[in-house]
Structure 1
Amino acid sequence: MDFLVLFLCYLALVLIGVVMICICSKTHHLKGLVRRGEQIFSCIIPECLQRAMQRLLHYLFHSRNQTFIILHLVLQGMVYAEYTWEIIVYCQELEFSLDYLLLPYLLLIVNLFFFTLTCATNP
């Protein structure tokens, strides 16, 4: 039950974020809000940190790197570790077949293989 509540909260936040971005992008409030925030933070944060952050953001979002591939693989691993921790015990108590228990791991391997292949090849 905890997972369902957390998932619904996550889904609600994502939907609210998408709606807000759509509304703000049509009315240009988002650009003004970003500019005002930028002006406030430029007075507070030293310039050397601003330049370092700009270089980091450029590296992450405007250059070809493996950061998000690794992040995706780590997050997938964490999800399946949590799955193993929570679900496998219940499935063994109910005496499900080993095939049913290993099916998600087979699908994970196929998913990660094609994800990595898609990210590594040139479009």
Structure 2
Amino acid sequence: MDFLVLFLFYLALLVIGGGTICICAKTRHLKGLVRGGTQIFSYIIPVCLQRATLRLLHYLFHTRNHTFIILHLILQGMVYTEYTWEIFGYCQELDFSLWYLLLPYLLLIVNLVFFTLSCVTDPVFSF
């Protein structure tokens, strides 16, 4: 299968899944399904593993930590490594200006600075 067909399948799956979640959230069928699923898994998963998972989720999503900043930096680094490996050399062969080739790296630096600032600083509300 080519890329476009796979991408359309992926897009259709996202739309169907999102629509199903929206419909079930309005009719409260999803809440009962989730509650039933958690009861079944609570019999299978040991209590110590459940507590450890809850502590980890609390740490990741309810406390200020730098986990997502590091994850974002790693993912951005991987994307730009792939860009450099694949695209940069090809664009140099096509005689693109060096400024056009360095523009994505400048945008990456700006993106990472603002992302880090938004994660580290406290929000200030001024009305």
TM-score by length of 1: 0.85
Q: Which runs of 5+ in 2 are unaligned?
A: none
Q: How does 1:63-102 map to 2 (within 5 A)?
A: 63-102=63-102
Q: CA RMSD in A?
A: 2.2
Pairing 1:111–2:101 present: no
- Structure 2 residue identity aligned to 1:101: L
Whether 2:51 is the aligned partner of 1:54: answer no
Cα shift at 1:19: 2.3
The unaligned stretches of length 5 or more in structure 1 are none
User: Which protein shows a greater Rg?
Assistant: 2
Aligned-partner Cα distance in 2 for 1:100–1:30:
49
Instruction: Give the length in aligned residue pairs.
Output: 122
| Structure 2 counterpart of 1:43 | 43
CA distance in 2, matches of 1:5, 1:109: 34
Q: Distance in 1 between matches of 2:78 and 2:108?
A: 12
After superposition, what is the alpha-carbon deviation per residue over 1:48-73, rounded to whole angstroms, capped at 9, x for unaligned? 10111111111111112111121112
TM-score normalised to structure 2 length? 0.82
Structure 1 counterpart of 2:77, which letter? G
- Distance in 2 of aligned mates of 1:49 and 1:40: 15
